[in-house]
Amino acid sequence: MKRHARLAERNRELLLGVLGRVLPARGTVLEIGSGTGEHAVAFARAFPALEWQPSDPDDEALASIAAWSREARLPNLRRPLRYDLGSDAWRGRPVDALLCVNVLHAAAAGCGPCLVAGAAQILPAGGPLVVYGPFGRGGDPLAGRLARFDAELRARDPGLGVRAVEPLVLAAARVGLLLAEDEAGAEEGDRVLVFRRG
């Protein structure tokens, strides 16, 4: 049942560095779209004072997360929850930080605004939303890896694709989340975005 994602290995150390700077000392972190569960285990192990809540809408992902969790036996790693980014289910439980890695390009276009709106509802003042993934910029045509990746996604489903970063930043600002950090990711065209609730 355990699945493995090459990209989870490639961006893990970079994300650990960012999370080490921005996460609170204690509290609960909700990870939206935990995928294989590898990140959830690595991050829960790295931050033992934080409760780590993985989630995903996919049955196979939930089984993989559970398998990784059983093997790791970390007391601060909670059982995975079935949360869909576009639903309201995950917005009812306040958390201290929110993480969303490599999800928005593989979700419907409206999920970016859903993510920031939900984050504004459940994060405390100053609480971080960390978003990682591929993003285009400034309306420029996608090139290189991003263009190839975008074409692959849209061939699978025309509703998917690499999104521009500016609409997400604007949607976040409208609900009181300000972009505090923006840095290059582990792959060409990937960004790490850190929003803070005002």
pLDDT band at 5 (very low <50, low <70, confident <90, very high): confident
Residue 8 pLDDT > 80: no
Q: What is the average per-residue pLDDT within 169-181?
A: 97
Percent of the chain with pLDDT over 70: 100
Record the tokens describing residue 55, joined without a space: 């989630």
In order of 44, 123, 127, 132, the CA distances from 106 in angstroms are 24, 24, 25, 12
Least confident span in 33-42, 116-125, 138-147: 138-147
Checking DSSP bridges between strand 190-197 and strand 128-136, what pairing results, if any?
Answer: antiparallel
Q: 50-67: per-residue pLDDT in tens?
A: 999 999 999 999 999 999
- Average pLDDT in the chain: 95
pLDDT of residue 111: 95
Give the per-residue pLDDT at 6.
76
Residue 177: strand, helix, or coil = strand
C-beta of residue 5 within 8 angstroms of C-beta of residue 68: no
Instruction: Evaluate whether 120 touches 175 at the Cβ level (below 8 Å).
Output: yes
Tell me the pTM.
0.96
Alpha carbon distance 178, 196 (integer Å): 5
Mean pLDDT of 137-164: 93
Sorting pLDDT into bands at 50, 70 and 90, what band is 182? very high
Could you tell me the domains of the chain? 6-197 (3.40.50.150)
Residue count (the chain): 198
Q: What is the pLDDT of residue 75?
A: 98
Q: Could you report the per-residue pLDDT of 57-93, keeping only the tens digit for each? A: 999 999 999 999 999 999 999 999 999 998 889 998 8
pLDDT higher at 45 or 2: 45
Give the C-alpha separation, 29 to 43, whole Å: 10
Chain mean position to CA 182: 14
Instruction: Find tokens 């935990």 and name the residue.
Output: 34
As a whole number, mean pLDDT of residues 134-152 equals: 92
